[in-house]
Amino acid sequence: MPSLPPANRVSHRLARLAFMAACAAVLCVAVAGPLHRFLGLDFDVAIALFRYGFYLGAGAIALGLATILPTRPGERRRGFVAAVLALAIGIAAAWTPFKWFLDARNSPHINDITTDTGDPPPLVVTLQLRREAQTSAAYPGASFADPQHAAYPDIQPIKLAVPPADAFKRVDRFAEAMGWEVVARAPGDGRGDGRLEAVDTTAWFGFQDDIVVRIRPDGAGSRIDIRSKSRVGSSDLGANARRIRDFTQRLKAEP
């Protein structure tokens, strides 16, 4: 059986290398979250594993492209199938880390979002659940408020034309609907503040964000303020703002 030309032998080896790199990449990206959430892998180590998965995926894409593209008209490269698989798996592995990178670039470097930056709702019960949190429970003030106002000008207090008792029931119902773990309910007496506290846990890495919803009388209606704060990471990649926007839209959509 005739041996392969040197160019085809190199192409075949590169295709196999690209395929193996792609498989390693998707494994790194896939297991980083569960290892942190269920086996207690250190946060920094899990994020490093996630990041290296992206590097491997990007390398697999580059090698796959180098292998699959012919150098001469009519030439069919050896290892075509392996190169195509490397491209597909590499793109799948690199996409989520790349999306995180885009979110980080497009979001302010903050992890505490609230509709009332002058008087943010305080953590009370959730404060007791933050013993291992990497971030301080105290609101940082202007250093977070200014970039929040610039990036998320739509994050504003919610006004409802219903009394505080009814507003609290609505808040409670939608908190449950969004899958939050409600840890405290303090409806208030109609004159003082009502408060609901909850924890939202991400499905993959198990990151936990603490949420406080404050309900105050506002004339004949109610004013609702929300605060959503991450326990880990100096940036939330926009997650807290998205959570508050989603909750606000649900509250306002109900007549």
pLDDT in tens, 178-220: 999 999 999 977 667 999 999 999 988 999 999 999 999 999 9
pTM of the model: 0.84
* pLDDT for the residue numbered 77: 55
Whether the CB-CB separation of 15 and 83 falls below 8 Å is answered with yes
Alpha carbon separation from 237 to 36, 40, 49, 66, 110 (Å, rounded): 18, 22, 18, 33, 8
Asked if the model's pLDDT at residue 80 lies above 50, the reply is yes
* pLDDT for the residue numbered 35: 95
Sign of CA dihedral 7, 12, 17, 18: positive
Question: Picking from 99-103, 144-148, 225-229, which range would have the lowest pLDDT averaged per residue?
Answer: 99-103
Q: How far apart are CA 106 and CA 132, in angstroms?
A: 28
Alpha carbon separation from 65 to 60, 61, 87 (Å, rounded): 8, 6, 7
Crossing angle (nearest 10°) for helices 80-106 and 43-68? 130
* pLDDT for the residue numbered 11: 76
Quick one: which of 90, 141, 151, 79 has its CA closest to 116? 141
pLDDT in tens, 99-136: 999 988 899 999 999 999 999 999 999 999 998 899 99
Q: Report percent pLDDT > 70 for the chain.
A: 91
Asked if the model's pLDDT at residue 155 lies above 70, the reply is yes
| pLDDT (average), residues 229-255 | 93
Asked if the model's pLDDT at residue 49 lies above 90, the reply is yes
